[in-house]
Amino acid sequence: MMKKSVKKVMLPVMAAAMAVSFGTLVSAEDETISLTVWGAEEDQTLLKELTDNFQAAYPDQTFDIQIGVESESTAKDTVLTDVEAAADVYAFADDQITDLIKAGALLKLDDYAEVLQMAGKTLDDVKDANVEGSIDAATIDGGLYAFPRAADNGYFLYYDASVLSEEDVASWSSLLEAADAAGKKVGMTLASGWYNASFFYGAGFTTALNDDGTTAIDWNGTSADGYTGVDVVKGMLAISGSPAFMAIADGDISNQLASGNLVACVSGTWDAMTAQEVFGDGYAATKLPTFTVGDQEVQQGSVAGYKYIGVNGYSENSGWAVLLADYLSNEEAQQKFFDERESGPSNKNVGASDAIKENIALSALAQQSEYAQAQKVGGKYWDPSQTFGELIAQGTLAADDDAAIQEALDNLVEGVTASVE
């Protein structure tokens, strides 16, 4: 059954049924508020703690809050399969926001300013509390569509400093050579447009989101820095063709770390605890290495991004869902996410702490941020870029076949720039 329209039904009901009493929002009706929350598997325990605390903050209201597993990286795909059946509140990465808004899967928070005010907060409070980039990335046509929860949605290099030196990890060639000598592997996900774009961005290539939802991409040409896409691919093939390189499926870095096969890997803060456990006293992290493009060493780029808590546009209890999403992303929640998950905060106060500055993973993320950029792409970008990455990972392309490489790049660009249906 289709859920009721949020704006037309739920907001007036909540405004009439709820009142502020000593800073506590209470319901005038004897009813159970049912909400579903989706978050990453590794965050389930923390989400349970936070939702319990949320319920305790409203002792006069009865809740039924169910928590489900859904990675921020795949949230869009699952939500868009059936938006009406998706969670009321869910975590997602910033690159998904455009498609989620188009599908009606995210509420415009500006329309719920009164609900936030009932809890003693304004939308400006949310904006002021978080770093500017996290607000900008969630603001479309002047409206804010999600609560920032983290500013750590980027990647860098973890490595075992008991095996590898700082000189070893400076370039891909020296890194792979040292790993091979140690009988170990260096892992990275290539079959993902989020990761493989790092090589092209480093060489000065671009992607952009057009007003009509299509993606602009120039990887099959020559970058502003004078490098050709063919030469970038050759640099990637030199890496993937090394016996010390392991192409890892998206989301499987943690498992490969735990296997003990890796001496280094490209990942983000979500794998910090696993890397620390595996590498022990050798646990270290730094910016990504340089790689060879033509006869030059080029610093590998990366994607800088954010994680959000959004509210489904089809939520039957949208007002309460907004309050819960705000609670799961507020300063106290972000502090807990850092303390328990080493998640990098978007909240300015949490980010200013000495503990954040001294954190190995977040320090590496900060080093890489100089070479990172926001990735604005449309929905047509992902499948072709994944297919392209698989060609690199599987060694399907030969480094000495310029024509085949150019054809693969042309096919990539054609697929990515296709019109939005």
Q: 248-260: per-residue pLDDT in tens?
A: 999 899 999 999 9
Q: What does the CA dihedral 310, 315, 321, 325 come to, rounded to 10 degrees?
A: -10
Answer yes or no: is pLDDT of 43 > 70: yes
Q: How many Å apart are CA 356 and CA 338, to the nearest integer? A: 8
Q: Residue 18's pLDDT is what?
A: 42
pLDDT (0 to 100) of residue 133: 81
The pLDDT tens digits of the residues spanning 251-309 come to 899 999 999 999 999 999 889 999 999 999 999 999 999 999 999 999 999 998 899 99
Mean pLDDT for 355-382 is 89
Cβ burial, residue 113 (10 Å; 0-12/13-18/19+): middle
| Tally of residues, the chain | 421
Position 26 pLDDT exceeds 60: no
Q: Is the pLDDT of residue 138 over 90?
A: yes
Assess contact for 137 and 305: CB atoms under 8 A.
Answer: yes
Query: Among all chains, which residue has been given the structure tokens 């340089």?
Result: 290
Q: Would you call 130 helix, strand, or coil by DSSP?
A: strand
Q: What is the percent of the chain with per-residue pLDDT over 70, rounded to a whole number? A: 93
Average pLDDT over residues 204-209: 95
Task: Report, as an integer, the average pLDDT of 208-229.
Answer: 94
pTM: predicted TM-score of the whole model, two decimal places: 0.74
| Nearest partner of 105 among 123, 90, 126, 127, judged by Cα | 90
Six-digit token pair at 323? 């309050």
* Averaged pLDDT, 145-155: 94
Q: CA 16, CA 409: separation in Å to the nearest integer? A: 58
Classify the phi-psi angles of 204: left when phi > 0, otherwise alpha if psi is within -120 to 50, otherwise beta.
left
CB 192 within 8 A of CB 268: no
Cα 190 from Cα 375, distance rounded (Å)? 16
- What is the residue-averaged pLDDT of the chain? 91
Which domains does the chain possess?
6-106+108-144+307-345 (3.40.190.10), 156-303+362-416 (3.40.190.10)
Quick check: 139 pLDDT over 90? Answer: yes
Q: Are 398 and 232 in contact (CB under 8 A)?
A: no
> Mapping DSSP to helix (H, G, I), strand (E, B) and coil, where does residue 2 land?
coil
Give the per-residue pLDDT at 196.
Answer: 98
The model's pLDDT over 322-366, given as tens digits with 9 standing for 90+, comes to 999 999 999 999 999 999 988 899 999 998 889 988 999 999 998
